[in-house]
Amino acid sequence: MNYKATSNSNAERSGSKNASLVSVKSLGIASNSAEARSGGIVKGSDGKFYAVLPSLGFLVCYDFEKGTSTQHNYEGNASGAPFKSFASQAGKFYTGANSYLYEFDPVTDSFTTVVNMAEQGSTLIGWGFCEDDEGLIYFANYPKLYLFSFNPTTKEIKNHGLLDDTQMYCFSQGADSSGWVYSAIGTAEVNVVGVNVVTGEKKFMFPRIPGTGNAVVYKTKDGSVAAQMTVQGEIQAGIDSSYLGSWYILDNGEVKEKVDSIEHSYMTKYPWGLHVPFENAPSIENMDYPSHTFTYLDPIAKEKKTVQFDYSCAGANCSPITLGPDGIIYGTTNHPMNIFTVDPATDTLIDHGIKSIGKGVGNICCYASQGDILAGAAYSGGYIYRIDTKLGIVNDQVHVSPKEEAVVSAISRPRSALALSDGETCLFSGLGGYGVVGSGMAIYNVKTGETTVLENEDLLEYHGIMSMAELPGGNVLCGSNVTPQGGGKAVYDTAALFEFNPKTYEVSNIKYPFEGVHEISHMVWAGDAVHGITSTGVYFVYDYEKQNVIHQQNLREYGSVVRQGMVYKHDRVYLLMSDAILQINPTDYSVHCIGKLTERATAGIAVTDNAVYYCSGPVVNKAVLHFE
């Protein structure tokens, strides 16, 4: 389907005058859907099987025998997002969301324990999960990596201490029969930590190797505990890496033996993992949470069945939006990722679903357009997508749009995009993956479809790139971020401005104008200078010829910085803050408040001839403008 927006002569009338806010109109929820966030197949105390399926803010319990489902909200915790879940031998289900630990009984169809662990310093609870022979449930916390246990009988929670001083993540756990609990930890440096929960002894199970990678621990179906480690990149000389990539049995705090393969109880292709620890249990083979359906293998009938389950939700939060070259506004939601469009001519909001985007993709974070092509970069993994706006959003036997063009792990968490004036090049950058400090760059040519990849060491090492603006001479001014995501440890404490030559890939003119500021969030070229804003809310003007900041103004009174919230149009810089829409005159740097917002903005921004479109959580809003 092809979408075209009608033009508006108000563009000429608006000229370079200040605007005022007429009204804010809600266009509705972009995608009224939810996503799977781990799960478990529980054998209840009645001997029946249930699927317990968490999502953001709630879980669904499906009774396989009755073919019915019930929804259970996380009361007072609507934003709670589980990461791991566990089905116990006693017939209970466990998960965590934000600082809350949840125990759910599918037989009584209710939460039997809800504990807010914020008082114990917990932020995101419910990582890992395992069970010992006594039925105690173990789990970890993020970002302070503590090991906890929960006694289902007494309801006592015990803190067994910090697993590691620097790592933040625990993705899996297993308990042996000798009092040891093993936790697979880390992103920046991975390992398996064993803790004797009786004596308190703690040890790393494998030699420590610097570098990002992956560690996993599983309780095998024969009752053993098995672990595996992998590390990416080249291993330093002299370090024993012979154990990497192989499975080892762990017992009584020791690495016992190497095995060729293991069988465990997790379905790892299910989003965040599905725990199925019972024999002859139904197994979910295809989950489509947004469509309220899943397909499972019935172990009795020996056939696949597709069932529906019910839930209601507030909708998925919106990621940044953009005005495409066809005049249509494009955007995606996150958790789950659906594509949506808005036609400014009619304000029609359409949820296109996932279309040709893979299920493992989180959201398109930033966009750049050349001609009829709108290119975007997506989390997590740095997927480069090409939207042919002449086709619109389509996925049939003839046309695919969006179309995946490349996967660039060096920009695993994209944040910035720039279309160069050559009419064919789009630059993408952002942040690295789990445990990675700094990012690279993807240089995408819309004419050839080729993507050139630069690694972080080719740019400004240990810096990510959050904002970019093309300078008159062809160089690109980049604004950096020094705060890594996903467990990485920062090397520097101050973000940089630096120039990048897109032809020679040279980096030059590195400046640190904002001491102690971790991020330069947005930049655009306007008038005869670069205009930008830092993560601390300081608007600045940068003279590239003098190579210094010539103007600063604190805008924190208007709220916090919003992702992709700066656009140049109508001879003005439009800046979306969480609490207001601002307009900046690039000639005298004066800041004009178009209007305060009653609902906080969370993602921006598309500016048309007479309106500013932005998002508040799952809702797309239109701020109607009047020009003086």
Q: Mean pLDDT throughout 375-400?
A: 93
* pLDDT (0 to 100) of residue 9: 40
Annotate 65-104 with b (16+ C-beta within 10 A) or e (fewer).
Answer: eeeebeebebeebeebbbbbbbbbeebbbbbbbbbbbbbb
Predicted TM-score of the model (pTM): 0.91
pLDDT tens-digit map of 426-471: 999 999 998 899 999 999 999 999 999 999 999 999 999 999 999 9
Nearest to 35 by CA among 273, 319, 275, 287: 287
Give Cα 351 to chain centroid, integer Å.
20
**Phi, psi for 577 (deg, rounded to 5):** -105, 170
CB 137 within 8 A of CB 152: yes
Q: Is the confidence at residue 6, as pLDDT, over 50?
A: no
Q: Is the confidence at residue 568, as pLDDT, over 60?
A: yes
Q: Is the confidence at residue 397, as pLDDT, over 90?
A: no
Which DSSP string corresponds to 91-156?
Answer: S-EEEEETTEEEEEETTTTEEEEEEEGGGGT-SEEEEEEEE-TT--EEEEEESS-EEEEE-TTT--
Residue 306: both structure tokens together: 């597709």
Q: Is the confidence at residue 329, as pLDDT, over 70?
A: yes
Select the more confidently predicted residue: 316 or 122.
Answer: 316
* pLDDT (0 to 100) of residue 560: 98
* pLDDT (0 to 100) of residue 295: 97
* pLDDT (0 to 100) of residue 212: 84
Q: How confident is the model at residue 149 (pLDDT cuts 50, 70, 90)?
A: very high
| Pairing label, strands 191-196, 180-185 | antiparallel
* pLDDT (0 to 100) of residue 406: 96
